[in-house]
């Protein structure tokens, strides 16, 4: 008899039905990821129907952009990679439909990641990050359904009243710590009251014009801001994330200084840098930070943290990064797929963790608990989330203790993609006075209020009853 079959089924659920949709989105301006440029993205949207032991039923929704360039940087053609991601989503729909276990979403999500998803991934040539992203829409939908079933914010179910296992079932503390997860649940680490107005970070892309002389001939005339100063003034921005190349230290330094000076002139308070995993030698980052501290102390003081300069695969690139984190907080992003990699990153000198719902809601919650218990700083980073993906992204940021708000930039790159959702939740899709306001979200599940959103979906690619 399995561990699950021995447990109380009072609050457990199982999956009954699965629907899968693919929604294409085109960017209004290009978005650079490392050595590639994104001009379109396919979002995967999932609806799961669940049932509990008493026969009560509910639906839940989840959505994630399949950002090929970010999840699977490679020389393979874009379409070949995208087709592989979409096929994995289709295969996972069958796995979720046939998933015969019952449990809390964290219990079910954790099991599926470590069994069915790992088996699917072993049959592919894609990175594990790509597999997690394909699975995340299903996982988010499961959490949404569970909250809807119980008529509450799903974050209110991450405790011993609903979960069958405490955190010691999932997590192991670092050997050099005094952490003990026995008897603790995610709610012990989450904020007691979610934050409904969150400071928001704007992404300054590597191709974004800073001055009128840099305007491209193909810049769209669609009524949205063009120059960085226009964005700052329109949205009241106070936090800027600067995308850098990671292979030209002179240009990267100059970019930080230029953006920093524009920020100071326009009331910006905080900066961060994102090297997009293109750096292999910590000295590259150290030299930039030391020069900044010496020559531009005001801008250096604004630099709140440094995001993921080094390659995705942490285990294949065991780089000691203490020299960087001694100067500024250093956050794992692409490398922190789960708590075990966060533990390894901590040993190498990383001091912070950037969470993303696209690595699954289950994984984000468990990673947060491990990092928070070990004194690591937290951020919630964007995958340029439109439509429903924006809401689950915002909800994570509102329930965890971040160093400063969260990043949200879909309104920069494809704002019109979210018009049906924005009609119901306008302040979730607009940045005003430097914040995003979540006050319109409902109190059940992920808070979509899906019944109010007039989104016309295409025919389902998969529909399993």
Q: What are the residue ranges of CATH 3.20.20.120 in the chain? A: 186-444
pLDDT score, position 217: 73
Q: What are the residue ranges of CATH 3.30.390.10 in the chain? A: 4-171
Strand pairing report for 352-355 and 377-380: parallel
Architecture of the domain whose range is 186-444: Alpha-Beta Barrel (3.20)
**How do residues 297-311 score in pLDDT, each as one tens digit?**
999 999 999 999 999
SS3 label, residue 59: strand
**How do residues 157-178 score in pLDDT, each as one tens digit?**
999 999 999 999 999 999 999 9
**Integer angstrom CA distances of residue 235 from 207, 223, 431:** 20, 14, 5
CA–CA separation, 211 and 438 (whole Å):
33
Burial class (CB in 10 A: 0-12, 13-18, 19+), 176: exposed
pLDDT score, position 4: 41
Low-confidence ranges of the chain (pLDDT < 50): 1-8
**How do residues 347-389 score in pLDDT, each as one tens digit?**
999 999 999 999 999 999 999 999 999 999 999 999 999 999 9
**Integer-rounded Cα radius of gyration of the chain:** 21
For residue 61, list its beta bridge partners. 47
pLDDT score, position 157: 97
Place of tokens 């990043």: 407
**Could you count the other beta carbons within 10 Å of the beta carbon of residue 78?**
15
Pick the CATH number of 4-171 from 1.10.150.120, 1.10.3720.10, 3.40.718.10, 3.30.390.10: 3.30.390.10
Report residue 67 CA to chain centroid gap.
Answer: 12
Place of tokens 């690595």: 359
pLDDT score, position 1: 34
CA–CA separation, 103 and 5 (whole Å):
9
**Could you count the other beta carbons within 10 Å of the beta carbon of residue 64?**
31
> In sequence order, what DSSP letters do the residues of 342-399 get, joined into one string?
HHHHHHHT--EEEE-GGG-HHHHHHHHHHHHHTT-EEEE--S---HHHHHHHHHHHHH
pLDDT score, position 10: 58
């Amino acid at each position: 008899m399995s561990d699950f079959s021995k447990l109380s089924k009072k609050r457990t659920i199982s999956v009954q039905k699965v629907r899968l949709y693919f929604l294409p989105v085109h960017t209004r301006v290009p978005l650079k990821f490392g050595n590639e440029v994104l001009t379109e993205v396919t979002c995967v949207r999932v609806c799961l129907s669940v049932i509990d032991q008493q026969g009560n039923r509910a639906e839940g929704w989840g959505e994630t952009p399949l950002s090929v360039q970010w999840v699977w940087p490679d020389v393979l053609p874009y379409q070949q990679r995208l087709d592989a991601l979409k096929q994995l989503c289709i295969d996972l729909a069958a796995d979720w439909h046939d998933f015969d276990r019952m449990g809390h979403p964290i219990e079910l999500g954790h099991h599926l990641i470590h069994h069915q998803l790992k088996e699917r991934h072993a049959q592919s040539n894609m990175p594990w990050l790509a597999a997690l992203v394909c699975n995340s829409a299903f996982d988010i939908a499961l959490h949404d359904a569970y909250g809807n079933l119980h008529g509450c914010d799903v974050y209110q179910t991450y405790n011993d009243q609903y979960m069958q296992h405490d955190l010691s079932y999932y997590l192991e503390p670092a050997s050099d710590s005094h952490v003990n997860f026995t008897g603790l649940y995610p709610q012990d680490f989450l904020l007691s009251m979610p934050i409904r107005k969150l400071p928001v970070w704007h992404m300054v892309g590597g191709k974004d014009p800073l001055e009128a002389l840099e305007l491209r001939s193909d810049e769209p005339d669609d009524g949205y801001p063009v120059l960085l100063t226009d964005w700052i003034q329109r949205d009241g921005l106070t936090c800027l994330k600067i995308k850098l190349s990671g292979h030209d230290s002179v240009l990267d330094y100059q970019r930080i200084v230029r953006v920093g000076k524009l920020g100071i002139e326009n009331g910006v308070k905080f900066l961060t840098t994102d090297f997009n995993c293109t750096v292999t030698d910590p000295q590259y980052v150290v030299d930039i930070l030391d020069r900044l501290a010496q020559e531009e102390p005001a801008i250096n003081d604004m630099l709140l943290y440094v995001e993921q300069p080094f390659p995705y695969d942490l285990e294949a690139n065991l780089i000691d990064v203490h020299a960087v984190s001694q100067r500024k907080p250093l956050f794992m992003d692409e490398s922190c797929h789960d708590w075990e990699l966060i533990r390894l990153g901590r040993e190498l000198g990383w001091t912070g963790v950037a969470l993303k719902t696209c690595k699954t809601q289950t994984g984000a919650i468990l990673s947060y608990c491990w990092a928070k218990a070990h004194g690591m700083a937290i951020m919630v980073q964007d995958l340029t989330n439109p439509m429903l993906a924006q809401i689950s992204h915002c909800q994570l940021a509102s329930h965890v203790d971040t160093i400063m708000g969260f990043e949200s930039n879909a309104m920069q790159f494809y704002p019109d993609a979210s018009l049906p959702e924005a009609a119901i939740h306008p302040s979730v899709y607009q940045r005003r006075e430097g914040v995003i306001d979540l006050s319109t979200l409902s109190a059940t599940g992920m808070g979509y209020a899906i019944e109010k959103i007039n989104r016309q979906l295409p025919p389902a690619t998969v529909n399993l009853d």
